[in-house]
Amino acid sequence: MVSSLAGDSAAYSTLLRRLNGHLRAYYLRRLGSGRAADAEDLLQETLIAMHARRSTYDTSRPFTAWVHAIARYKLIDHFRRTKRRAEDPLDDPDILFGSQDANAAEAQIDVDQLLRRLPEKTRRLIRDVKIDGLSTAEAAERHSMSESAVKVGVHRGLRALGAKIEDGGS
Amino acid sequence: MKTDDLITALAGDVTPTQPNAVGRTLGLGLAVGAVVSTAVMVLWLGVRADLMHAMMTGPFWMKFAYALSVAVLGFGLIDRLARPDGDGGIFGPLILAPLAVMVALASFQLFGAPEDLRMKMMMGASYQVCARNIVILSTPIFFGLFWALRSLAPTRLTLAGAVAGTLAGAAGTFIYAFHCNESAAPFVAIWYTCGIAAVGALGALLGRLTLRW
């Protein structure tokens, strides 16, 4: 999303396609599978609203929360228009991003944001070992470091990240 | 339209957005409204004749401090509420702090004054028009802010409307204070607050109706 705001069309397209699946599942689950056409309408409306109001995304906050807030708002608005009462709680963010098993991909959007605050070298170490799943030995070879240096680097990086998250993310 | 085509169309229409676009849009609405409102104040009511002299006195600045602090907190709050995932954060309760200070100051003055003066300190010479004038001077700013909010994405419409109204009321009060020559804290605490609260209530009402997207 950060690249999209800067005008990167390809990144934006990828992002929209990913969200597409989540949003469809979210609306189908909320409306019931008998209302697939409504869900599709809502999905399109949400994508358009996100697009038109993308400048309201604050890059220092989690992207998933922003998308969820819009999706939820559109759903409530739909219920209001169609006079149907919402029978169940609408404000559980997990419903949107837990609704597909590919949610690791979206978590990455937030993870990228966090990682950007670390020094370049530490960031690459954590990405290789903790996200891409390289072994310590492989990472050591790639960065021409000793294995223990990799371990220490990753450990320190994670601790720094933890501290930043506790700080409230700024 | 197929959703896939929609995504392609949207992705083809992505222009870079400015950083802090929310603050800029709201600031623009506020500024345009304030210019109009200032013009109305100068042409209709006129700046108080003893402005230069009044600037040397404390009560003059007290009124601006009250209006300005509410306006600044209101802006901080609306900048958050204009986003879909925005909550008030610390600004929410904080916006009542200027009112608390003002009421404390007014009570202090009132109880320190001789009894026969108290009524005059509350009613001043312009209690009949004060709140009304504030509402009128706030209107251009109110429209400016609502225009801005309509292009943003508030999800708590009543609250966002109320805050936008309060901000417009405080900004209108700031402008009105150039005309108003009342100087007693009890008067300000009652009538200025009434003016601001009236615009805030109007905002809450209209927020629900006009800010949907």
ipTM of the complex: 0.83
Q: What is the pLDDT, as a whole number, of residue A133?
A: 74
Considering chain A, tell me which residue range(s) the CATH 1.10.10.10 domain(s) occupy: 117-166
Structure tokens that stand for B117 in this block: 């003066």
Fold assignment, A2-102: Rna Polymerase Sigma Factor; Chain: A (1.10.1740)
Which CATH architecture describes the domain A117-166?
A: Orthogonal Bundle (1.10)
The model's pTM is 0.76
Considering chain A, tell me which residue range(s) the CATH 1.10.1740 domain(s) occupy: 2-102
Residues of B in contact with A17 (CB under 8 A): 7
Separation in Å, CA of B1 to nearest CA in chain A: 9
* Mean pLDDT computed over every residue of chain B: 92
Q: What is the pLDDT, as a whole number, of residue A82?
A: 81
Tell me the pLDDT tens digit for each residue of B138-179. Answer: 999 999 999 999 999 999 999 999 999 999 999 999 999 999
Contact state of B22 with A40 under an 8 Å Cβ cutoff: no
Q: How confident is the model at residue A169 (pLDDT cuts 50, 70, 90)?
A: very low
**Dist CA A115 CA A109 (whole Å):** 10
Task: Quote the DSSP letter at residue B172.
Answer: H
Top-confidence range, A80-89, A104-113, A127-136:
A127-136
**Dist CA A123 CA A112 (whole Å):** 10
Q: Is A135 on the interface with B (CB under 8 A)?
A: no
Contact state of B85 with A77 under an 8 Å Cβ cutoff: no
What is the rounded average pLDDT of the residues B38-57? Answer: 89
Contact state of B11 with A12 under an 8 Å Cβ cutoff: yes
Tell me the pLDDT tens digit for each residue of B98-133. Answer: 999 999 999 999 999 998 889 889 998 888 899 999
Contact state of A68 with B7 under an 8 Å Cβ cutoff: no
Out of A5, A13, A24, name the one closest to residue B17 (CB): A5
Contact state of B15 with A7 under an 8 Å Cβ cutoff: yes
CA distances from A102 to A8, A85, A139 (A): 23, 30, 26
- What is the helix (H) or strand (E) element at residue A158, kind and residue range? helix A147-166
Contact state of B21 with A16 under an 8 Å Cβ cutoff: no
Q: Which residues contact B81 (CB under 8 A, 6 or more apart)?
A: B87, B88, B154, B156, B159, B160, B163
CA nearest neighbour of A136 among A118, A122, A150? A150
Which residue of B1, B2, B10, B87 is the best one to mutate when testing the A interface, meaning the one whose CB has the most A CBs within 10 A?
Answer: B10
Question: Which of A72-81, A151-160, B56-65 is the least confident region?
Answer: A151-160
Out of A40, A54, A55, name the one closest to residue B3 (CB): A40
- SS3 for A86-113 is CCCCCCCHHHHHCCCCCHHHHHHHHHHH
Contact state of B83 with A55 under an 8 Å Cβ cutoff: no
Q: Which residues contact B16 (CB under 8 A, 6 or more apart)?
A: A5, A6, A7
Burial of B100 (0-12, 13-18, 19+ CB in 10 A): exposed
Query: Contact A29/A138 with Cβ under 8 angstroms?
Result: no
Residues of A in contact with B17 (CB under 8 A): 5, 54-55
Top-confidence range, A6-20, A115-129, A140-154, B100-114:
B100-114
